[in-house]
Amino acid sequence: MTLDEIDHKIISLLQEDAQRPYTEIAERVCVSPGTVHVRMRKLKQSGIVTGSTLKLDYSKLGYDIKAFLGIYLEKSGLYDDVVDQLRDIPEILSIDYTTGDYSIFVKIICRDTNHLREVLHDKIQQVRGIDRTETIISLEETLDREVKLD
């Protein structure tokens, strides 16, 4: 699917606020609400738009520790099995297959250091196929944004 200027404007407005009504988007882009609906349906069908998300301030919900975990696998062929097991750990927010020292890089969220220790020891380090891990605790997230399309 080739995107035109209208598609880019619709995407940009929804990146600012995914709950913005299509009628408001239509007004700002100078098209009909029906056009916005049709464009969004096409963007979803093509896989360019995969959904909308709710952004949470985890610290206000009692989750004060964000950490990144580099995972070394026993064998690279175990990647799919390890990822399947990691998906079941609710504290894991994202899983990335990487180059470099780590085979897998994950982002986790925990209530406090005791909870982090429990997640690391009782959940992640029990996953079959993981050789070892390295933990990096985030002290502050300065920027978290979507890429703005041209």
pLDDT at 53: 80
CATH topology classification for 58-138: Alpha-Beta Plaits (3.30.70)
Q: Could you give the CA distance from residue 84 to residue 99 in angstroms, rounded to a whole number?
A: 19
Which residues of the chain register pLDDT less than 50?
Answer: none
Sheet of strand 104-110: strand arrangement: 92-97, 104-110, 65-73, 130-138
Taking the domain 5-45, which CATH number applies? 1.10.10.10
Closest CA to 88 of 133, 116, 126: 126
**What Rg, from alpha-carbon coordinates, does the chain have?**
20
Sequence ranges of the domains in the chain: 5-45, 58-138
Question: Is 58-138 the same fold as 5-45?
Answer: no
